[in-house]
Structure 1
């Protein structure tokens, strides 16, 4: 016949929760040793031999075994830890029974297991622990070895022992609560920061997905009028035989071809954005693709490129090319004569530098770039804001600086972009 245990009994506990219990056991051992020493050497109170031969050794041995065995157990269940709590409570109850019961100031230490149980246990084991601790408290009010039978030197010594002991127990419990609350507060703060970070990343992903959807929709809508214009261009070639008209139609055909290629790239990028996940590619291939897209939109720019001497493999998603391209677009807007792209690898990771010879921006304007969308007629701001979001997804940094004759925008990425993703 098998005994079925409740579900919470098998629920595993986390490492920091087990540390709280271990700290409590160590605290209790120190308190019992100090109390016995205080009883014997300061107030010359002769306690029963069980205090020295049974209760204190059980507490010290339990604490020693706990610290010895605990590192070997990666996870203990709530039932197992509750059983350890019951053991420590029974030892403490025996200690208090032989030292005056509820008259002993140490009775207030029973608050400590209740506080720790409420922190580390779920509702059912915490409720059991509260009931057990309360029962022990009331039993010690009725059954105990009278303190007056322990050869106390004087009544003043008894009152002094009680008042001083109460103050010492209050201080000890305060220290124990501090040892519990501070690590718990730090863990809660870290969890809150992780939650805010995850929420921010989720909003960024949603924003990027919305932009990709909008781009795909716009590309499909623009495809129809471009096809119509191509048909009109073909028709006009037959009805306008003059050389000037043919030259104008050639320019029109070239521009239509540029638009169609740009739309094709937008469709491809939007389709890739709908399939999240990193992929591997050579840095040289990545830069070649970015240069191709930039040259398609700005055919008058040479875009000199500097790459590291050693080959580098990137592990990225499709958003990084958009981030670099946005910086090139903004540079080309303010520097129609010169835009350069430089890639460098260092001990910290990878750096993309976009350099232009534009007039540059004021320091106050540089500090606001990428922080939020800016309302400007030339469209600057939204692209850099999007770039900032993309860089943050890579745990990187977007940095701007202005020299005498140039403005430099840098994307600083960690080594994670050059490391293959791990698959569990």
Structure 2
């Protein structure tokens, strides 16, 4: 078995990039609406003459970029740091172009460059953030070169500083509102990404733990194979030896010993099959009902009659590939239930759409609060044995490999309940096989 890097580790970063691009699109739509409103107020209510062609052309270009960005999101895939940097650089250039045609640095809305710098510092890598800072400084320097001056009507021409201060106040309010609204959402996206990355790393660590356990189990199984085979041969020789043939009691003991050795060899064989991929090294075609019935029959054979109840609500049977690892972990859950509730356990099989649902209940003491809180983590056991608590850990990881899940609860009437959810599509035989 070899550890394979988990591609899900890259997914949180990709998802955060897509959500951040979505926020930039929303911010740009607000900019388009705000710019149209500003142009309408300045020209209609205040009587200020503006060069409408370059200003409206920039607004149209911003809207076109937004449409293209939305198409980019619908195509799927990760949004890279380079794409986000390019989007912010375009926004800086668009703002500089509009300010150039509306007074340059004398326009109070020149402070909006600060919004681009803050967003870049949050979203981008340090190098890209400094690139945004350099771009804004270059834009401010360029605005000193031949800007189109604003021609104020007579009622404002006498106090241009008062008009500038009013515009600065509106710009400050706009920046404050946008920073609180969007930076808060961006920070939440980053926190969600960090949490998802932590969960993915934990999952990778758990799967690496399973790999090491599989290697250990496989090595132990290989080591046990030879002495078990030797014992089987010796027991066979003893059973056929003339001096033992007439002793009925000894023959009965030898038969029990032979059965125990064969049982050990079966367990070792199961470990060897389950130590590799989740489907094992020798998958077999069967049906879901037969797969479950065999698990139930194995459990009944090892216990007193009437202590294992099977409720079959699965419905129409479906063909599957028998999974040795899955059978083993389900058997472990059944064994654990029977250990705490030897008088009775219940197994129910049902179906929810494409999902097979297996429920195992008992009349034992149930799970502790700590077990419920840390369900699926290794070495969480109610039995107090060193190295215990791997049964549910293996169950969660084997089922997760198949695209399913598991949950545990305590029953109101007493005892525990374990539910296992298995997608039938993951167990279906390959196309072309009966």
Q: TM-score range by the shorter chain?
A: 0.7 to 0.9
Query: How far off is 1:312 after superposition?
Result: 3.3
Aligned-partner Cα distance in 1 for 2:281–2:173: 56
Matching residue within 306, 311, 316 for 1:310: 316
Match of residue 138 from structure 2:
135
TM-aligned CA deviation for residue 283 of structure 1: 0.8
CA distance in 1, matches of 2:210, 2:193: 25
What displacement does 1:30 show? 4.0
- Deviation of the 1:327 alpha carbon: 1.5
Q: 1:267 aligns with which of 266, 272, 281?
A: 272
Q: Are 1:346 and 2:345 counterparts?
A: no
Give, in angstroms, the shift of residue 362 of structure 1: 5.3
Q: 2:383 aligns with which of 373, 376, 386?
A: 376
Superposed CA offset, 1:9-28 (max 9, x none): xxxxx655654554454444
Query: What residue in structure 2 maps to residue 88 of structure 1?
Result: 94
SS at match of 1:96: coil
1:58 aligns to 2:78 (yes or no): no
Q: CA deviation digits over 1:124-173, x for unaligned, max 9?
A: 77666544432332344575566697535475x43432222222111212
Q: Do residues 387 (structure 1) and 395 (structure 2) align? A: yes
Relative distance call for 1:144 and 1:279 in structure 2 (3 A) is: farther
- The reply to whether residue 284 of structure 1 matches residue 289 of structure 2 is yes
In structure 2, what is the equivalent of residue 151 of structure 1? 154
1:229 alignment counterpart: 231
SS in 2 for 1:255: helix
Quote the residue 2:4 is aligned against.
Answer: none
Describe the SS at the equivalent of 1:310. coil
Alpha-carbon distance, 1:94 to partner: 2.3
Task: State the distance in 1 between where 2:282 and 2:250 align.
Answer: 49
Query: Which among 414, 417, 425 is matched to residue 409 of structure 1?
Result: 417
Is the counterpart of residue 399 in structure 1 residue 405 in structure 2? Answer: no
Superposition map of 1:8-157 within 5 A: 16=19, 19-36=22-39, 39=42, 44=46, 47=48, 49=49, 51-72=50-71, 78=83, 81=87, 84-85=90-91, 88-97=94-103, 101-116=104-119, 130-141=133-144, 143-144=146-147, 151-153=154-156, 157=159
TM-score (norm 1): 0.74
Q: Which residue of the other structure, out of 188, 195, 198, is the alignment partner of 2:197? A: 195
| CA contact 1:230–1:253 (8 Å) conserved in 2 | yes
Report which of the two structures shows the higher radius of gyration computed on alpha carbons: 1
* Counterpart for residue 6 of structure 1: none
Aligned partners of 2:345 and 2:251: how far apart in 1? 34
The equivalent residue for 2:365 is 361
1:398/1:279 CA distance change after superposition, 3 Å: farther
TM-score, normalising length from structure 2?
0.72
Distance 1:191 1:421 in 2: 36
> Runs of 5+ in structure 2 lacking a partner?
1-16
Question: Secondary structure, in 3 states, of the residue corresponding to 1:399?
Answer: strand
Supply the distance in 2 between the matched residues of 1:19 and 1:222 (Cα, whole angstroms): 58
Unaligned runs of 5+ in 1: 1-13
Deviates more, 1:231-240 or 1:413-422: 413-422
Contact 2:28 2:66 in 1 (8 A): no
